[in-house]
Amino acid sequence: MNNSIRVSCTKNNLKSIRSFVTEYLETLALSDVLMNQIVLAVDEICANLIIHANNEDPSKYIYLTVTEPNNAVQFEIKDNGIAFKSSDYKEPDILEHVRVGKKGGVGIALVRRIMDKVEFTTKEGTNAVLLYKKIK
Amino acid sequence: MKITQDIKDSTIIMTLDGELDASSSVVLDEELSDPEIMKYKKILVDCRNLNYISSAGLGVFISHLQRFEDAQIKLIFFNMQDKVRNVFEILGLDLLMTIVSNYEEAITIADE
């Protein structure tokens, strides 16, 4: 089965990314809730890369690869945009978001709560996000 | 994302059909930002056909919550699929927002 895709940086392509991940996960017989969580985590990272790291520039691409290490599923998402500084990351205060009417800033919190491992690395201008989730 | 509105007196029933992601949630934001919506006392959101929600969709609801509360407008979600409800729960939004099982419960809570 095909385990990687290359997607140009437009928000409309998020749907194709979700379809790709869903199709891949379908063979693993996961519960609806777990399947949705994993698709969501990948979607959140890709949305951030498309919108913030690559400014929705369709001439730029992100690369997604899925693998299955022991009893787990692992996603690697690469791009050449602006690197995410995980050291600057702060857990959002949802009550404060409600109070000030803030729209964004909860995506990475979802990813971190869903996945068992979330790693951001940058090497020679290429950023890689690694998402790892035990499934058994 | 297709959004339909059904108006009954001071209640607006908003039916969401499709997926709310970083691309499609803009449509929902426009609907909820419409000043006309402040005329109603109750906004009931039918989520039966809401098949997916990402942080962008959640963010739209988070950003309007205080505005509705200040105007004493009740925002109630009903018929939500388990996998979608789970996404609200991961962030604890189920404790800040009113999510009930079905239309009858939504109406009952709205009338309290």
Q: Are B92 and A94 in contact (CB under 8 A)?
A: yes
Rg (CA), chain B: 13
Interchain contact B107–A (C-beta under 8 A)? no
A114·B90 Cβ contact <8 A: yes
Split at pLDDT 50, 70, 90, the class of A78 is: very high
Q: Do A14 and B63 touch (CB under 8 A)?
A: no
Residue B40 has pLDDT above 70, yes or no: yes
User: Is A106's CB within 8 Å of B63's CB?
Assistant: no
Task: Calculate ∠ Cα B82-A26-A41, nearest 5°.
Answer: 60
Closest CA to B94 of B108, B107, B109, B82: B82
* pLDDT for position A1: 63
pLDDT in tens, B62-85: 999 999 999 999 999 999 999 999
Q: Do B84 and A36 touch (CB under 8 A)?
A: yes
pLDDT higher than 80, residue A55? yes
Question: What is the average pLDDT value for chain A, to the nearest integer?
Answer: 96
The Cα of A33 is separated from the nearest Cα of chain B by a number of Å equal to 5
**Measuring CA to CA, which residue among B72, B71, B98, B76 is closest to residue B14?**
B76
pTM beyond 0.90: yes
pLDDT band at B39 (very low <50, low <70, confident <90, very high): very high
Kindly tell me if the per-residue pLDDT of A85 is higher than 90: no
Confidence class of residue A86 from pLDDT cuts 50, 70 and 90? confident
Q: Is the pLDDT of residue A53 over 70?
A: yes
Q: Does B18 touch chain A (CB under 8 A)?
A: no
Average pLDDT over residues A95-103: 96
Chain B interface includes A49 (CB < 8 A): no
Share of chain B above pLDDT 90, in %: 99
All residues of chain A having their beta carbon less than 8 Å from the beta carbon of residue B82 are 32-33
Report the alpha-carbon distance of residue B76 to residue B79 in Å, rounded. Answer: 10
